[in-house]
């Protein structure tokens, strides 16, 4: 282990085990965690293990009637969470945003949409590997998360029969090793940080043996779902530190959806990750009942940037089966984001409002009286890259196809077939 790693390990171990003196180890800790009272709360919680639940029976705050009513939803779209995340819910608030993120709701039984709205199945090139944009490979290395978000666009992965995510990475590594146009790999799933640290280390080390892969991204909601996964595992921080270096950084792509998820524990997990030498950026869908409010988006993006996490994407909710109730029309979403930007710092409003369409990442740029203006930020067809286009306004449009039968739409229809 290098000297730098030893130092980091010592600091992390001290931070986790000392009863006193966090401020001596990292002065930002006390500031970030908001003072001694909160620091002590964290220490108390750390002594207890985070417990995971897969049954609505494990949630005493739900009445028996509610559990009976929601059981059919959970049979189709499984429930999973843990006691840390559930403790963030204010059960007296029927519209609590955290509850909306993780507790099933009856509206999910609306069967509109498909299970694979971005047609990801057409992107597979090897077991677990999607290759849609030339420099980027997406590797699904896990089919489990710290909790299951009700609005997840990959909820198909959680069905026992699905084999899209792969624990065997050999075929995927071989493909990526043979394609030197791939300079960055996004590890996703599922949540890669649910894997054991040893497995994650093997994965990171394998990619570090491929010289043309310069950047690794780890897509994770674990800092929100269970920050103790990070706080309590100095070995994870050592592994990240060893594999993130000035020439080839690791990016942690977090998914905070609401400012209430930025608890002292989560902020501390963020700080430990930053100390390990990784860079952090956040992506979140715009979700009805969770963050569909300019003040909430503004607070979320401002607080992320205060903690040094770059707001990266605000995603249009994909038309996934069971997700209609979480979708916000594009025009409304655009208005909310623009309104929220009025109280964001320049750094907080770096995020782009985009739609992950089959044909590419389409940024929603603006509206005038008659038209909506869009641009390809990424494109499956290199000819489309950077292409700016407009379509007549449709107030309730949720997705590109809803914008009508323009030439663009015919173009997409051809790509689908």
Instruction: DSSP for 35-81, please give it.
Output: SHHHHHHHHHHHHSPP-EE-SGGG-TTS-HHHHHHHHHHHHHS---E
Pick from 191, 242, 292, 363: which binds ligand SF4 (CB under 6 A)? 191
Closest approach, Cβ 93 to ligand SF4, in A, equals 22
Does residue 102 interact with ligand SF4 by CB under 6 A? Answer: no
Whichever of 136 and 371 has its CB closer to ligand SF4, that residue is: 136
Report if residue 149 touches ligand SF4, rule: CB under 6 A: yes
Q: Inter-axis angle of helices 234-243 and 3-17, to 10 degrees?
A: 160
Q: How many CB atoms lie within 10 A of CB 263?
A: 23
User: Does 201 contact ligand SF4 by CB under 6 A?
Assistant: no
**Stretch of 126-134, 141-149, 168-176, 328-336 contacting ligand SF4, by CB under 6 A:** 141-149
CA distances from 24 to 20, 49, 180, 230 (A): 9, 26, 46, 21
- Residue 154 binds ligand SF4 (CB under 6 A): yes
**Does 120 participate in binding ligand SF4 (rule CB under 6 A)?**
no
Query: By rule CB under 6 A, what count of residues binds ligand SF4?
Result: 9
Consecutive H or E run containing 415: helix 407-416
Q: Select the span of 26-34, 70-78, 147-155, 352-360 touching ligand SF4 (CB under 6 A).
A: 147-155
Find the shortest distance in angstroms from Cβ 217 to ligand SF4.
14
Contact 155, 115 (CB under 8 A): yes
Among 8, 12, 152, 287, which residue interacts with ligand SF4 (rule: CB under 6 A)? 152
Position 148 contacts ligand SF4 (CB under 6 A): yes
Coil, strand or helix at 145 = coil
Q: Does 252 bind ligand SF4 (CB under 6 A)?
A: no
Say if residue 92 is exposed, middle or buried (CB neighbours under 10 Å; 0-12, 13-18, 19+): exposed
Question: Taking Cα atoms as reference points, which of 325, 326, 305 lies closest to residue 315?
Answer: 326
Q: Which of 352, 251, 260, 262 is nearest to 304 (CA)?
A: 262
Binding mask 213-242 for ligand SF4 (x = CB under 6 A): --------x---------------------
Return the closest-CA partner of residue 187 out of 252, 240, 138, 120: 138
**Nearest approach, Cβ of 155 to ligand SF4 (angstroms)?**
7
Is 194 an interacting residue with respect to ligand SF4 (CB under 6 A)? no
Contacting positions for ligand SF4 (CB under 6 A) = 145, 148-149, 152, 154, 190-191, 221, 255
């Amino acid at each position: 282990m290098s000297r730098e790693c030893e130092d980091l390990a010592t600091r992390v171990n001290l931070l986790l085990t000392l009863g006193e003196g966090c401020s001596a180890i990292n002065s930002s800790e006390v500031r970030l965690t908001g003072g001694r009272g909160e620091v002590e709360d964290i220490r108390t919680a750390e002594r207890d293990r985070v417990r995971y639940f897969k049954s609505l029976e494990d949630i005493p705050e739900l009445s028996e009637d509610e559990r009976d009513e929601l059981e059919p939803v959970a049979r189709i779209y499984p429930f999973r969470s843990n006691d840390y995340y559930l403790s963030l819910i204010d059960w007296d608030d029927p519209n609590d945003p955290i509850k909306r993120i993780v507790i099933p709701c009856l509206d999910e039984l609306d069967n509109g949409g498909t299970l694979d709205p971005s047609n990801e199945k057409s992107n597979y090139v090897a077991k677990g590997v999607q290759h849609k944009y030339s420099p980027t490979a997406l590797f699904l290395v896990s089919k489990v998360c710290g909790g299951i978000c009700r609005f997840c666009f990959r909820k198909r992965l959680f069905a026992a029969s699905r084999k899209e995510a792969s624990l065997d990475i050999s075929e995927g590594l071989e493909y990526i090793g043979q394609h030197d146009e791939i300079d960055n790999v996004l590890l996703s799933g599922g949540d890669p940080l649910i894997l054991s640290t040893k497995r994650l280390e093997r994965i990171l080390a394998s990619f570090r043996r491929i010289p043309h892969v310069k950047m690794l991204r780890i897509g994770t909601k674990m800092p929100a779902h269970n920050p103790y996964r990070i706080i309590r595992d100095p070995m994870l921080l050592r592994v990240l530190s060893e594999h993130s270096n000035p020439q080839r950084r690791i990016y942690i792509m977090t998914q905070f959806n609401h400012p209430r998820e930025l608890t002292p524990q989560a902020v501390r997990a963020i700080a430990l990750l930053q100390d390990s030498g990784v860079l952090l950026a956040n992506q979140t869908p715009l979700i009805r009942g969770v963050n569909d409010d300019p003040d909430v988006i503004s607070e979320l993006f401002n607080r992320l940037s205060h903690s040094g996490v770059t707001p990266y994407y605000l995603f249009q909710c994909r038309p996934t089966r069971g997700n209609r109730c979480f979708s916000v029309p594009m025009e409304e979403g655009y208005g909310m984001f623009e309104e929220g930007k009025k109280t964001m710092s320049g750094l907080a409003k770096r995020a782009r409002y985009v739609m992950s369409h089959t044909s590419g990442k389409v940024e929603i740029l603006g509206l005038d009286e008659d038209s909506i203006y869009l641009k390809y930020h990424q494109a499956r067809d290199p000819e489309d890259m950077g292409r700016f286009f407009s379509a007549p306004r449709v107030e309730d449009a949720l997705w590109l196809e809803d914008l009508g039968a323009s030439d663009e739409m015919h173009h997409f229809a051809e790509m689908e077939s």
